[in-house]
Amino acid sequence: MSFQVIFKPAIWGAIFLVVLPLTIRATHIVGGEMNYTCLGNNEYEITLTIFRDCYNGNPNAWFDNPASIGVFDAQNNLLQEVLVPLMNNDTLDPVLTSECLVVPPNVCVHTTTYRTVINLPPITGGYQLAYQRCCRNQTIVNIVDPLDTGATYGVTISERALEECNSNPKFQQWPPIYICVNEPIVFDQSAIDQDGDSIVYRLCTPLSGATPDAPMPQPPNNPPYEPITWIDPPYNVDNMLNGVAGGVELEINSQTGLLTGLPNTIGQFVVGICVEEYRDGELISTTRRDFQYNVGQCGQAAAAFTAPEIQCGNLSVFFHNESQGANDFIWLFNDPGDPGAMATSINALHTFSDTGLYTVMLIAEPGEVCEDTAFQQVYLQDNSISVDFDYEFVSCTDSLVVQVTDSSQDSVSELLEWQWSLMPGGATSMERNPTFVLTESGDYTIRLTVVAANGCEQSLEQSFTGTLVEEELAADTLAICFGESVPLNPDFNPAYTYAWAPAEGINEPSQPNPVVQPQQTTTYHVTISDGSGFCQIERTATVVVPEPVTAEAPPDTAICTPDFLLEGQSNTGASFLWASDPGFNTSLSSSSSVLVQPMGPATYYFLARDIYGCIATDSVQVTGNGIDVLTTSEQAICPGDIGAVAVINLDPADTLSFSWSPANIILAGQSSSTAFVRLTEPGQYPLY
pLDDT tens digits, one per residue of 169-192: 999 998 887 888 888 999 999 999
Longest CA–CA span in the chain (Å) reads: 188
Q: What pLDDT was estimated at residue 571? A: 93
Contact 116, 125 (CB under 8 A): no
Distance of CA 236 to the CA centre of its chain: 40
Strand order in the sheet with 601-609: 557-559, 615-624, 601-609, 575-579, 587-589
Contact 413, 452 (CB under 8 A): yes
Q: 136 has which bridge partners?
A: 29
Look over the chain and give the mean of its residue pLDDT values, rounded to a whole number. Answer: 86
Average pLDDT over every residue of 197-223: 94
**pLDDT > 90 fraction of the chain, expressed in percent and rounded:** 54
More confident of the two residues 357 and 3: 357
Q: Which of 435, 493, 441, 445 is nearest to 466 (CA)?
A: 441
Could you give the CA distance from residue 1 to residue 120 in angstroms, rounded to a whole number? 10
Q: What pLDDT was estimated at residue 626? A: 62
Q: Which of 197, 221, 201, 219 is nearest to 209 (CA)?
A: 221
Average pLDDT over every residue of 551-577: 90
More confident of the two residues 466 and 554: 554
Average pLDDT over every residue of 435-463: 91
Does residue 14 carry a pLDDT above 50?
no
Tell whether pTM > 0.75.
Answer: no
- Range with the lowest mean pLDDT among 51-55, 95-99, 290-294, 352-356? 95-99
Q: 428 has which bridge partners?
A: 421
Q: Which of 42, 33, 297, 280 is nearest to 172 (CA)?
A: 33
Coil, strand or helix at 198: strand
Does residue 1 carry a pLDDT above 50?
no
Instruction: Label residue 27 by pLDDT band (50, 70, 90).
Output: very low
Does residue 25 carry a pLDDT above 80?
no
Q: How many CB atoms lie within 10 A of CB 623?
A: 14
Does residue 565 carry a pLDDT above 60?
yes
Q: What pLDDT was estimated at residue 176? A: 84
| 491-545 pLDDT, tens digit each | 898 888 888 998 777 878 888 999 998 989 999 998 888 766 667 788 899 999 9
Rounded to the nearest 5°, which phi and psi values hold at 146?
-65, -30
Q: Which residues contact 365 (CB under 8 A, 6 or more apart)?
A: 100, 301, 326, 327, 328, 371, 372
String of DSSP letters for 565-608: EEE-B-SS-SEEEEESSTT--SEEESSSEEEE--SSEEEEEEEE
More confident of the two residues 74 and 442: 74
| 448-461 pLDDT, tens digit each | 999 998 888 899 99
Full set of structural domains in the chain with CATH: 5-296 (no CATH), 305-381 (2.60.40.10), 385-466 (2.60.40.10), 477-544 (2.60.40), 557-624 (2.60.40), 629-678 (no CATH)
Could you give the CA distance from residue 678 to residue 117 in angstroms, rounded to a whole number? 177
| 83-99 pLDDT, tens digit each | 999 887 554 444 444 44
